[in-house]
Amino acid sequence: MKDTKIEIKNLSVFFNYVQALNKINLEIQSNKVTSIIGPSGCGKTSLLRTINRMNELIKGFLHKGEVLIDGINIYDKNIDLVKLRKLVGMVFQNSNLFPKSIYENIVFAPTLQGINEKGILDEIVERVCTQAAIWKEIKDKLNSNALNLSAGQQQRLCIARTLAAEPSILLMDEPASALDPISTAKIEELILELKNEYTILLVTHNMQQAARVSDYTAFLYMGQLIEFGRTPKMFTNPINKQTEDYITGRFG
């Protein structure tokens, strides 16, 4: 496909020889939101974590196949993992902020990259917090503890901190599942804005959320890719009966 950012070829994943993914083939488009849906244990998070090689942190991980970003196989032995995880940012289900100030949380990645000039760091903080739609709420309390923020604010701050590393891909693993409806709506609005600058993969168990924010949807079941296509078609006229049954709540 034109404008393919990520290409997954014949990807199989095992943990302690138990198969989690079976020969997945998928093309993810630049500057689009792709939702990954499916019942618990179907391999959604395992698929997401292959794209920044975080599965390697789990003992017994083994993979076959390729994951290409901009045409380069990220499992090549010469790949720099630090650069890869800068390129591919990840937002988790629960906010994982450091017990430090809001400011220190955001500048963590830039300072690791050698940026120490306060003026530049200040600009980064304002830019990414504006992008993450939280600047107006926190601009007067940057030195206060980040853990004092509400759950929804903490999650948006996590997104801002991820953006500060200047990724081109955002992996989001159930980013709104622990939030109230108002905070969830803010995260969804944010996702729709961020896709103008980033390629976004979203794991969600919320069918309505997938329908609202994603351009493409992939349905996984028991480690296999059952169906993939444009979200409106997947939700109104899926090809596979199993897809229809899952989307309409008959199982899962």
Task: Tell me the two tokens of residue 50.
Answer: 């292959």
Q: Give me the tens of pLDDT residue by residue for the chain, a chain 252 residues long.
A: 569 999 999 999 999 999 999 999 999 999 999 999 999 999 999 999 999 999 999 999 999 999 999 999 999 999 999 899 999 999 998 888 999 999 999 999 999 889 999 999 999 999 999 999 999 999 999 999 999 999 999 999 999 999 999 999 999 999 998 889 999 999 999 999 999 999 999 999 999 999 999 999 999 999 999 999 999 999 999 999 999 999 988 876
Cα 37–Cα 10–Cα 171 angle in degrees, nearest 5: 40
**Would you say 11 and 24 are in contact if contact means Cβ atoms under 8 Å apart?**
yes
* β-bridge pairing 216-221 and 224-230: antiparallel
Length of the chain (residues)? 252
**Would you say 216 and 35 are in contact if contact means Cβ atoms under 8 Å apart?**
yes
> Which residues contact residue 17 at a Cβ distance below 8 angstroms, ignoring those fewer than 6 apart?
60, 62
**Would you say 188 and 213 are in contact if contact means Cβ atoms under 8 Å apart?**
yes
- CA distance linking residue 44 with residue 40, whole number of Å: 8
Could you count the other beta carbons within 10 Å of the beta carbon of residue 43? Answer: 22
Q: Give, in order, the Cα–Cα distances in Å from 219 to each of 10, 210, 214.
A: 16, 11, 13
Taken in order 204, 206, 40, 174, the sign of the CA dihedral is positive
Question: What integer pLDDT is reported at residue 222 of this predicted model?
Answer: 95
Question: What integer pLDDT is reported at residue 94 of this predicted model?
Answer: 83
Task: Tell me the two tokens of residue 149.
Answer: 């923020």
Question: What integer pLDDT is reported at residue 252 of this predicted model?
Answer: 63
**Residue ranges with strand state E in the chain:** 4-15, 18-29, 33-37, 61-69, 72-73, 88-91, 169-173, 199-203, 216-221, 224-230
- CA distance linking residue 128 with residue 10, whole number of Å: 36
* β-bridge pairing 169-173 and 72-73: unpaired
**Would you say 198 and 169 are in contact if contact means Cβ atoms under 8 Å apart?**
yes
